[in-house]
Amino acid sequence: MHTAVATAETVPDGGHTFLESPGLLTPIIMHPDCTVDLCAILLGPMVNLWKQANPGRAVFYKILTENLIMKNDELELLDVAEQVLMVGCPNGIWDEHNGFPLFRRGVTASHPALNFQGRPEFALDIGGFLAKMVRTLCLFRLPSGLPFGK
């Protein structure tokens, strides 16, 4: 995670750290369907331990809240081939030096509102990406004429 000076407006300071926790202090909530490769890790206990060990410092992170997840009626308005941005660490690969996950652009390969192969999933075409599960996927739309990365 990225570090910051503890102020009212937490802004990254360019540093990063690893949050480690003694096993039982890190509650992990598994998905109720064992065929779904997804879990939730409660960061609170680890962040609090880190802050106690690093007075005046903070951990900078962003949370994907429920209002950012498309509802079924919104999914139905999408095209079959939508541009997407994958953010994650496929097969454990990431930028360890700078503390960043990988960012890959791709396209939906089946309609996101339809069950692919009878399962509540959809297919993606993201070049060079070999993993069963995408960790974070964002619909990727740029205003007309705006180049990628600006």
Can you give the pTM of this predicted structure?
A: 0.64
Under 8 Å between Cβ of 86 and 129? yes
Under 8 Å between Cβ of 63 and 43? no
Indicate the helix (H) or strand (E) that contains 15.
strand 12-16
The whole-number pLDDT of residue 117 equals 92
Examine the pLDDT at 130 and tell me if it is beyond 70: no
Q: Show the tokens assigned to 36.
A: 């779904």
| Amino acid letter, 53 | A
Q: What is the pLDDT of residues 95-118, one digit of tens each?
A: 888 778 888 888 889 998 999 999
Q: Show the tokens assigned to 52.
A: 């106690």
The whole-number pLDDT of residue 149 equals 47
> How wide is the angle at C-alpha 46 spanned by C-alphas 45 and 49, nearest 5°?
85
CA distance 88 to 73: 27
- Using pLDDT thresholds of 50, 70 and 90, give the confidence band for residue 22: low
